[in-house]
Amino acid sequence: MFSRLSLAAGAVAGGIVVFIGMHTVNALWIIPGAREEGRKLERAELDSATNKAIGELRDEADRARFNRRLCIERGRLYVNATGLCVERQAQPGG
């Protein structure tokens, strides 16, 4: 009914289709999700280490200097009067 050559060709073609399908699934769904999860975990670890380092500072002045520098590095605005780190307001014209 079917020759061995046509069965082998069908198996190869099926393997190629499965291979392409799996790579498409990986590229579109699995890998981006894993990258985002990795970013979240890394940020959580860095924030934890930062908070631990802040807690180990000697006094409030050291904490305020550290928080101010950290706030500026993140592109925010440090308000000295309140000690809060806030988003910068959009500048007109740019």
* Full-model pTM: 0.42
The residues near 58 (Cβ < 8 Å, ≥ 6 apart) are none
Gap between the Cα atoms of 89 and 86, Å rounded: 9
In this prediction, the residues of the chain whose per-residue pLDDT falls under 50 are none
Domain shared by 48 and 73, yes or no? no
Percent residues over pLDDT 70 in the chain: 97
Give pLDDT, residue 16. 94
**23: containing domain:** 1-56
Domain shared by 52 and 6, yes or no? yes
Domain shared by 15 and 36, yes or no? yes
Give pLDDT, residue 13. 93
Domain shared by 51 and 69, yes or no? no
Domain shared by 35 and 68, yes or no? no
Give pLDDT, residue 1. 61
